Amino acid sequence: MSHAARRLHAPVLALLACGLALPAHAQTKHAVFVGINDYIEFEDEAGGDLLGAERDARVMREVLVERWDLDPANTLTLLGREATKEAIHQAITTWLAGRAEPGDLAIFYFAGHGSQVYDLDGDEPNGLDETLAPADVLPVSSENDIRDDEFRAWLSTIRTEVVVILDSCHSGTASRSGGMRTRSLDRAPPPEGGREPAVIRQRYDPETMADATTSILELAAAAPNQSALEGPLDGIDAQSGEHGGVFTRYLVAALREASPSATYEEVLREVAEQLEYEELGQIPQITGQGAKALFR
């Protein structure tokens, strides 16, 4: 070993000689942000295209970079028509799963439409799966929907903890007045007791859609039977004429002001109180270990 090499290794050897552990793997955050205004098979009208989802993805990325130590180099953003089902699948199972190591934190954010389709594996009491609607979702078929079971299977390929934030809804209820529109895809819900056509059922293997073993914490904009709303914004970092999801709006505001020791539960409680005060009819949900400190 050269004299220079001995000097380089001396601190490490000293630590080992004293019985001290080497520093643990430093946590790195990796994040995917998806925002869809332009739905390829739908027109620009309430229940079809949206106005504020792409802005939501950008401002969520911004607050995590500026306030919560997310390195911009460790982010991937899919907006509009580029956020197809296959692109989202690859973003999770290849990009996120390939970068996030054990001990890191993986983050997935989605702003766009949600929907409901027939349940394929019998795990839903009402017979319906909740879905995320990618840019290439179809008006009369669930072939391109991202089912909740399927989504969990994708997330299970990630080798570390995952935080999921969803600003979408799964209820299909009517939009509100006052310039608001719902983020529930405008297509007829399946009739009670129905089944997906065989061509759809054959695409899914129940074993591949089993519950993920990956630790997942989810923040959702609304309960499964409620709508998530978007509408015109003013104040709180918004410019005149901009639209956005009300859940993301108040979540971003809370994240900007939260202390480094704040928990997911504490922040979501602030968001819920604001939504209740505004009488917007949606109650954000948390699933997983919400008592953990934010993005740690």
> C-alpha 81: how far from its chain's center?
18
pLDDT digits (tens, 9 = 90+) for 42-65: 876 556 789 899 999 999 999 999
What pLDDT, on the 0 to 100 scale, is given for residue 91? 98
pLDDT digits (tens, 9 = 90+) for 222-260: 887 788 888 877 765 666 678 899 999 999 999 999 999
Residue of 145, 76, 72 whose CA lies nearest to 112: 145
DSSP per residue, 205-218: -GGGGSPP-S-EEE
Does the structure show a pLDDT above 50 at 66? yes
Tokens of 152: 């969990």
Residue spans per domain, the chain: 25-287
Write the burial class of residue 147 (CB in 10 Å: 0-12 exposed, 13-18 middle, 19+ buried).
Answer: buried
Q: Higher pLDDT residue, 10 or 45?
A: 45
Q: Which residue has the tokens 């948390």?
A: 286
pLDDT digits (tens, 9 = 90+) for 143-157: 899 988 889 889 999
Q: Higher pLDDT residue, 137 or 6?
A: 137
> Which CATH architecture does the domain made up of 25-287 adopt?
3-Layer(aba) Sandwich (3.40)
Does the structure show a pLDDT above 90 at 221? yes
Q: Higher pLDDT residue, 32 or 186?
A: 32
What pLDDT, on the 0 to 100 scale, is given for residue 124? 45
Note the pTM of the prediction, 2 decimals. Answer: 0.81
> C-alpha 247: how far from its chain's center?
12
- Lowest mean pLDDT of 60-69, 107-116, 187-196, name the range: 187-196
Q: Higher pLDDT residue, 140 or 189?
A: 140
What pLDDT, on the 0 to 100 scale, is given for residue 204? 45
Tokens of 250: 């108040």
Integer Cα distance of 197 and 141 in angstroms: 9
